[in-house]
Amino acid sequence: MNRTEKIKELKKYIQGLSQEKTHYKDGTTYSDIVIDGKSLCKSDSARKHENQHLRTDKIVESVGDINGKTFIDLGSSSGYMVFRLKELGASSCVGIECIGELINISNKINDIEEYDDINFYHEDFIRRVDSLPTITGTETFDCGICFSSVNAVCSKDEEWYDVGEWLESVGKVVPILFVEFSEYITNTIWEDDLPVIVEEHLREQEKENIFKRKTEEMFDNLECLKSWKLLGMTDYNRKLYRLDYK
């Protein structure tokens, strides 16, 4: 098939997926899928293409020059950030995702774009971090990224996973991690600190303040970190941090 035919096939594949398969909406992934300037999703994605410079710009500004840099995306979804970073000059990039359908989409996009130094792996990026060098065939990457994936995993109705422990294990794979946190991590002891506030807008503001403080206290207490910095806000009022490991 030629490029145009492949794009049509991918669009048909995406729009034929159920909400259960996309983990967002029928025919639509959480992050927009845009090829040649056109979205392939059936309806609006949560993370719209036109807003994602709020993430990529901050990474590029922080690194200084990403040309030749290698990246690993932990929770790569449909590969949006991997492809954007590659377009901006990154060298080999790897995406790790635990949802099979999203890996399929990522590989179909890569087949269209014909990158030979992008790879996606269907793996548990939370509980198998120590296995990533074996899985990817690469001991370390220049930078890692994780956008809200930790939040999403830890806010499920399951046993709370220690984010601090996970961050420590990631330091064995990358010297720098760009990680996005929001105020919506649930099912944690952090919620015990929330005061009883009737006014919804005031309660949400206090919730955000507490979770920001708890997040940054967690960074301060991680002995594996050399430094951390809040780079600013991305879309959906989420905070993007840069973590530098010792």
Distance CA 238, CA 148 (A): 8
Checking if the pLDDT of 14 tops 60, the result is: yes
Residue 102 sits at φ, ψ, to 5 deg, of -70, -35
To the nearest whole number, what is the mean pLDDT of the chain? 89
Band of residue 128 on the pLDDT scale cut at 50, 70, 90: confident
The predicted structure's pLDDT at residue 242: 98
How many residues are given for the chain? 246
Checking if the pLDDT of 191 tops 70, the result is: no
**Which of 8, 57, 52 is closest to 30 using CA atoms?**
52
Least confident of 8-22, 123-137, 190-204, 212-226: 190-204
Indicate the angle between helix axes 80-87 and 53-63, nearest 10 degrees.
Answer: 50
The predicted structure's pLDDT at residue 104: 97
- Answer yes or no: are the C-beta atoms of 81 and 55 closer than 8 Å: yes
Least confident of 36-40, 178-182, 194-198, 209-213: 194-198
Band of residue 181 on the pLDDT scale cut at 50, 70, 90: confident
Distance CA 239, CA 216 (A): 11
Mean pLDDT along residues 211-229: 92
Mean pLDDT along residues 172-187: 80
Band of residue 159 on the pLDDT scale cut at 50, 70, 90: low
The predicted structure's pLDDT at residue 238: 85
- pLDDT, greater one: 150 or 117: 117
Mean pLDDT along residues 171-195: 76
The predicted structure's pLDDT at residue 154: 59
Residue 25 Cα distances to 42, 45, 65, angstroms:
9, 8, 36
Band of residue 199 on the pLDDT scale cut at 50, 70, 90: confident
